[in-house]
């Protein structure tokens, strides 16, 4: 089954349209960019720096230049990021796959293409106006300045590109500390974006990056005086670090999205949706389906529907074998907890099948099997295309189990049901940022569902799917008594 969500012809027409609008040659046609890391002179570095301090200085300089270019300058800068994400999706997607060695090549490419199309821009910055007997007040959305961003290995360049579009739309510049295992593709993308923007607008370093990122450089970025706001996308440790920071932080933290299937669901549709969402990029997405709770009266029928939809069902002993291989313990004492084993994280379903002692076609998208509630796959964010299915007596029990397994992250939950009261009960109890009904998790990001896209979904800090507005400050400008044209002419002195 194909999980493709974007039509390649559609991408081609968007590329043509964007190129026609900005009248620029393709960045892909430019000379290959493998330049050295800049030190000393900041202009001409194309965003890649050896230290946090240099990167922040360059981004500060770029911020001042961007302010002078106005909203139209932001719009043009963003159009280059979109165009390169679309045009170079195949080349950059291949680089990301080769470097990170996790996920699926087709989806690495697709993620870059869709972000070029679906991430919102300056049109989100609508001012509000209040006019009344006392005159006029205008609320505008102003930039913060330089933003420090931490990005994950699961979507290294897509997260940077998404963040850059949103942040530049809001008038900011950004310094990125990428995940060390995705730093090369991050640097290559950042170089290409900056080169194209520089050629068109004469401003370099709107997006800067630390070439050799470490935990130390991340914490230096958190504490740097020149950084006005932090945006972190990642797992529990970095989310905790950002929440403890003295600066304001937008935190896109971890998830462990549960799925509930009740006796009123369209089981074949549910099965197709679960496979589409959980198999996407080998289940690396933070919103991807991670464990499924099914009402007992339809449990066996649901397992059969999963097989019809193309999933491979493991036997109990195969599930045991996979669990032993795929989940390991980390931490000490009371902090000891199960985590996915690195060599199976983000790997293909066929490899998981092999680890379980089953045989599978290379094109297999998802492995699944019945487990009890105590199986470590249930509480763990496994980030691999195996799903545990847990049998529950009633839908209330399923919702309760789903709630426990989500750990209060309030990230994403999914239900397949046609009973609106059941949907409402689950929505209220889990209280998640994304709640998808009768579709794949990716529909919650506008891929096959309505709405816009971002790969940073701010969960503990509450901003939700980030947009340009997330990265702005409200400023109110008040004019007393004048400029209001309603009212009696006599009232004007
Ligand atoms: P990770 O937490 O290992 O790394 C994320 C980033 O944080 C990396 O750049 C890493 O170097 C840095 N980092 C890690 N610990 C740190 C610390 N103590 N101080 C400073 N920086 C630190 O996560 P990952 O494996 O790259 O990505 C997967 C995780 O990210 C999953 O938990 C997933 O749910 C989450 N995620 C969330 C969203 C979202 O929008 N909410 C999006 C993508 C991924």
Cα 448 to ligand 1 centroid, rounded to whole Å: 26
Closest C-alpha residue for ligand 1 atom 8: 179
What is the pLDDT of the chain when averaged over all its residues?
92
Confidence grade of residue 174 (pLDDT, cut at 50, 70, 90): very high
Percent of the chain with pLDDT over 90: 87
Residue 482 confidence (pLDDT)? 84
Q: Is the CB of 290 under 6 A from ligand 1?
A: no
Cα 242 to ligand 1 centroid, rounded to whole Å: 11
R_g over Cα of the chain: 24
For 37-57, give the DSSP string.
PB-S--TTSTTEESSHHHHHH
Closest C-alpha residue for ligand 1 atom 9: 179
Question: Is residue 326 pLDDT above 50, yes or no?
Answer: yes
Residue 35 confidence (pLDDT)? 46
Average pLDDT over residues 172-201: 98
Q: Is the CB of 179 under 6 A from ligand 1?
A: yes
pLDDT, tens digit, 9 for 90 and up, residues 391-426: 999 999 999 999 999 999 999 999 999 999 999 999
pLDDT, tens digit, 9 for 90 and up, residues 336-361: 999 999 999 999 999 999 999 999 99
Question: Is residue 176 pLDDT above 60, yes or no?
Answer: yes
Residue of 445, 463, 411 whose CA lies nearest to 111: 445
Q: Is the CB of 235 under 6 A from ligand 1?
A: yes
Q: Is the CB of 238 under 6 A from ligand 1?
A: yes
Q: Is the CB of 461 under 6 A from ligand 1?
A: no
Strands (E), 45-197: 48-49, 128-132, 135-143, 146-150, 173-177
Residue 491 confidence (pLDDT)? 62
Q: Is the CB of 148 under 6 A from ligand 1?
A: no
Residue 189 confidence (pLDDT)? 98
Residue 31 confidence (pLDDT)? 34
Cα 152 to ligand 1 centroid, rounded to whole Å: 5
Cα 463 to ligand 1 centroid, rounded to whole Å: 18
- Local structure of 344: helix, strand or coil: coil
Residue 38 confidence (pLDDT)? 52
Q: Which of 209, 232, 238 to mutate to test the pocket of ligand 1 (most atoms within 8 A of CB)?
A: 238
Question: Is residue 490 pLDDT above 80, yes or no?
Answer: no
Residue 45 confidence (pLDDT)? 87
pLDDT, tens digit, 9 for 90 and up, residues 35-62: 445 545 566 689 999 999 999 999 999 9
Cα 165 to ligand 1 centroid, rounded to whole Å: 20
The answer to whether 451 and 445 are in contact (CB under 8 A) is yes
Distinct helix (H) and strand (E) counts, the chain? 14, 20
Average pLDDT over residues 360-364: 95
Residue 98 confidence (pLDDT)? 98
Average pLDDT over residues 147-159: 98
Residue 71 confidence (pLDDT)? 97
Confidence grade of residue 12 (pLDDT, cut at 50, 70, 90): very low
At which residue do the structure tokens 């991050």 appear?
A: 186
What's the CA gap between 287 and 291, in Å, rounded? 12
Cα 455 to ligand 1 centroid, rounded to whole Å: 12
Q: Is the CB of 183 under 6 A from ligand 1?
A: no
Average pLDDT over residues 233-251: 96
Percent of the chain with pLDDT over 70: 90
Cα 457 to ligand 1 centroid, rounded to whole Å: 12
Residue 5 confidence (pLDDT)? 42
Cα 357 to ligand 1 centroid, rounded to whole Å: 31
Selected residue with higher pLDDT from 6 and 440: 440
- The per-residue b/e assignment along 405-420, b for 16 or more CB within 10 angstroms, e otherwise, is bbeebbbbbbbbbeee
Residue 487 confidence (pLDDT)? 74
Q: How many CB atoms lie within 10 A of CB 128?
A: 11
What's the CA gap between 255 and 258, in Å, rounded? 9
Q: Which of 174, 180, 235, 383 to mutate to test the pocket of ligand 1 (most atoms within 8 A of CB)?
A: 235
Residue 483 confidence (pLDDT)? 81
Question: Is residue 252 pLDDT above 60, yes or no?
Answer: yes
- Which has the minimum average pLDDT: 30-44, 330-344, 366-380? 30-44
Residue of 84, 79, 75, 165 whose CA lies nearest to 120: 165
Question: Is residue 1 pLDDT above 50, yes or no?
Answer: no
Task: Kindly give, in sequence order, each residue whose CB lies less than 8 Å from that of residue 247, ignoring residues fewer than 6 positions away.
Answer: 222, 227, 228, 229, 230
Cα 233 to ligand 1 centroid, rounded to whole Å: 6
Residue 484 confidence (pLDDT)? 79
Residue 14 confidence (pLDDT)? 43
What's the CA gap between 193 and 419, in Å, rounded? 47
- Local structure of 138: helix, strand or coil: strand
Q: Is the CB of 150 under 6 A from ligand 1?
A: yes
Question: Is residue 23 pLDDT above 70, yes or no?
Answer: no
What's the CA gap between 475 and 375, in Å, rounded? 51
Residue 334 confidence (pLDDT)? 87
Q: Is the CB of 234 under 6 A from ligand 1?
A: yes
CA 199 to centroid of chain Cα atoms: 29
What's the CA gap between 326 and 342, in Å, rounded? 8
At which residue do the structure tokens 């963040």 appear?
A: 163
Q: Is the CB of 381 under 6 A from ligand 1?
A: yes
Q: How many CB atoms lie within 10 A of CB 316?
A: 11
Task: Kindly give, in sequence order, each residue whose CB lies less than 8 Å from that of residue 409, ignoring residues fewer than 6 positions away.
Answer: 253, 254, 255, 256, 432, 459, 460
The answer to whether 233 and 186 are in contact (CB under 8 A) is no
Question: Is residue 379 pLDDT above 70, yes or no?
Answer: yes
Residue 259 confidence (pLDDT)? 99
pLDDT, tens digit, 9 for 90 and up, residues 93-137: 999 999 999 999 999 999 999 999 999 999 999 999 999 989 999
Cα distances from 398 to residues 23, 61, 259, 386, 431, in angstroms, run 55, 54, 9, 19, 15
């Amino acid at each position: 089954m194909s999980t493709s969500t974007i039509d390649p012809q559609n991408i081609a027409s968007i590329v043509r349209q964007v190129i026609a609008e900005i009248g620029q040659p393709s960045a892909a046609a430019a000379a290959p960019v493998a330049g050295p890391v800049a030190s000393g002179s900041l202009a001409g570095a194309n965003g890649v720096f050896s230290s946090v301090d240099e990167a922040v200085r360059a981004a500060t300089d770029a911020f001042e230049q961007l302010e002078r270019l106005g909203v139209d300058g932001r719009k043009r800068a963003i159009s280059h990021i979109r165009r390169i994400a679309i045009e170079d999706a195949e080349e950059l997607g291949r680089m990301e796959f080769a470097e990170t060695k996790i996920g699926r090549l087709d989806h690495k490419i697709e993620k870059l293409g869709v972000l070029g199309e679906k991430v919102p821009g300056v049109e989100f910055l609508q001012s509000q106006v209040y006019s009344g007997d006392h005159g006029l007040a205008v609320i505008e959305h102003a930039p913060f300045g330089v933003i420090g961003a931490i990005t994950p290995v699961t979507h290294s360049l897509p997260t940077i590109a998404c963040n850059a579009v949103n942040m530049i739309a809001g008038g900011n510049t950004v310094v990125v500390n990428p995940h060390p295992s995705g730093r090369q593709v991050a640097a290559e993308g950042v170089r290409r974006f900056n080169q194209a923007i520089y050629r068109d607008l004469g401003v370099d370093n709107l997006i800067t990056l630390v070439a050799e990122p470490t935990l130390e450089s991340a914490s230096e970025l958190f504490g740097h005086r020149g950084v006005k706001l932090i945006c972190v996308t990642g797992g529990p440790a970095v989310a905790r670090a950002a929440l403890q920071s003295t600066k304001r932080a937008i935190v896109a933290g971890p998830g462990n999205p549960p799925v509930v299937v009740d006796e009123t669901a369209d089981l074949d549709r549910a099965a197709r949706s679960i496979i589409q969402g959980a198999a996407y990029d080998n289940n690396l997405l933070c919103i991807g389906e991670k464990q499924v709770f099914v009402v007992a009266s339809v449990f066996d029928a649901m397992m059969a529907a999963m097989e019809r939809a193309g999933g491979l069902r493991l036997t109990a002993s195969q599930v045991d074998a996979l669990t032993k291989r795929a989940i390991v313990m980390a931490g000490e004492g009371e902090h000891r907890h199960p985590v996915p084993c690195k060599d199976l994280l983000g790997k293909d379903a066929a490899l998981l099948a092999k680890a379980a002692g089953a045989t599978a076609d290379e094109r297999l998208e998802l492995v699944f099997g019945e487990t009890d509630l105590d199986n470590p796959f249930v509480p763990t964010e496994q980030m691999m295309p195996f799903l545990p299915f847990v049998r529950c007596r009633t839908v209330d029990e399923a919702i309760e189990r789903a709630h426990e397994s989500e750990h209060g992250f309030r990230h994403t939950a999914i239900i397949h049901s046609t009973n609106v009261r059941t949907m409402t009960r689950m929505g209220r109890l889990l209280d998640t940022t994304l709640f998808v009904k009768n579709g794949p998790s990716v529909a919650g990001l506008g891929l096959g569902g309505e709405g816009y896209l971002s790969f940073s979904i701010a969960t503990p800090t509450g901003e939700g799917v980030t947009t340009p507005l997330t990265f702005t400050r409200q400023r109110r400008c008040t004019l007393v008594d004048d400029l209001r044209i309603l009212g009696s002419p006599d009232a004007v002195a």
